[in-house]
Amino acid sequence: MARELVSLGHEVFIVAANNSHLRTSQPQQSRQLVSEKIDGINYMFLPSFPSSKSIFTRLLNMLTFVIMLARYQKHIQNITRPDYVIEATTYIAPFLISYRIAKNSKAKVIYEVRDLWPASPIEISGRSRFNPIFFIIGLLQKYTLKNADCVISTLKYADEYFTTNVIKPKLFAHIQNGISIRQYSGSFMKKSFYYDEVAQIKEKYDGCIGYTGGLGAANGLDVLLGSADELEKHNLAIIIFGKGTNREKYLSYQKPNVYIFDAIPKEEIIQVSKLFDLGFVGGVNRKVHRYGVSANKIFDMMASKVPVLFCYNTQDSFIEDAQCGIIINDPTSDRVAEEIITFFKMPKTERKAMGVNGYRTALEKYEYATLTRKLLNAIRVIQ
């Protein structure tokens, strides 16, 4: 989206920590702010504590980022002189500083919602609602919603949650995740080390169900792996790429038709995904999902012309509207196996049509050029 904004003549600054467990490689490490310009985008990397899978190191990473953001606040606002400040961290605390930067610059401040606090961690991770951290985050969230000029979210019905449970935002806009079509061109895609191995696996079976993403409890893989025995009877394979807290648990399944590989870069995921006959996207069945779902892997599958097995209980009907997959609102292993087997009994032409539908919808509605215009239209009406 930043590239699209630059192409439209806007100047974009991204302020980020110089360490993140989500990156495959880190920027230049320094104890001072480091500025870089990449693809026309200005980056400011703030020194931060190295982050890993450990909750403790992630908390230290978040804390040091907030401290460094406060330390460099005046420098950032003097260099950027923003018209709009978009706070897009996964946690809320940096908004306190982003808000000050915006007000000191007479700019508008936009808050991007990633998770619905505290509902997401309580329902998905099973943590207690009486956790003092959730109480603090709840106060921060109320302050954020009250002071943000606009709230944007990939979750289509997030405004319903906030209006009912916290406070109604001044202005709300739904901006979905999406695709950059350049990433699906031959110049961007890179042949994966695993490509030939996956191609050979595919030749052994009558069909394969693929997954690329996190291997955590929230990703719903237990129901997919629970269907492996039944799928084996129909000569169907499950192929998984990813890393996460449940990786060792899933490796211990040791089913002959289940193949689990390491996580691979985006440019390799795109090419490998094209080998899948059906792409799995799922999560644990929780009420919070009714407000919307927006996993990047959905759009990878759509852009790769792969039908989607969508296992979420949500009122967001974009898979149904696109007619690009199978929807299971209340997934169980038996139900997943049944739907997958039914899918592979369909004529190949019908299955291929699902994939084409997804591809066309992704280009029409979820390409970042389109989403960027939608963002600009939303924030231009801020008074």
Domains of the chain in sequence order: 2-181+368-379 (3.40.50.2000), 182-365 (3.40.50.2000)
What pLDDT is stored for residue 188 in this prediction?
A: 62
**Measured between alpha carbons, how far is residue 130 from residues 107, 134, 140 in Å?**
36, 7, 16
Tell me the sheet residues that pair with 172. 151
pLDDT in tens, 146-157: 999 999 999 999
| Tens-digit pLDDT profile for residues 80-132 | 999 999 999 888 899 999 999 999 999 999 999 988 877 777 776 666 777 78
Residue 326 has pLDDT above 90, yes or no: yes
pLDDT at 237: 98
CA 263/CA 285 separation, integer angstroms:
25
**Which pLDDT tens digit goes with each residue over 226-257?**
999 999 999 999 999 998 889 999 999 889 99
pLDDT in tens, 21-62: 877 788 888 999 999 999 999 999 999 999 877 778 988 999
List helix spans (H) across 148-218: 158-165, 195-204
CA pair distance 151, 157, nearest whole angstrom: 12
The pLDDT value recorded for residue 185 is 65
Torsion of CA 122, 124, 125, 129, to 10 degrees: 10
Q: What is the mean pLDDT of residues 164-190?
A: 83
Q: How far apart are CA 147 and CA 169, in angstroms?
A: 9
Position of tokens 């950032």?
A: 76
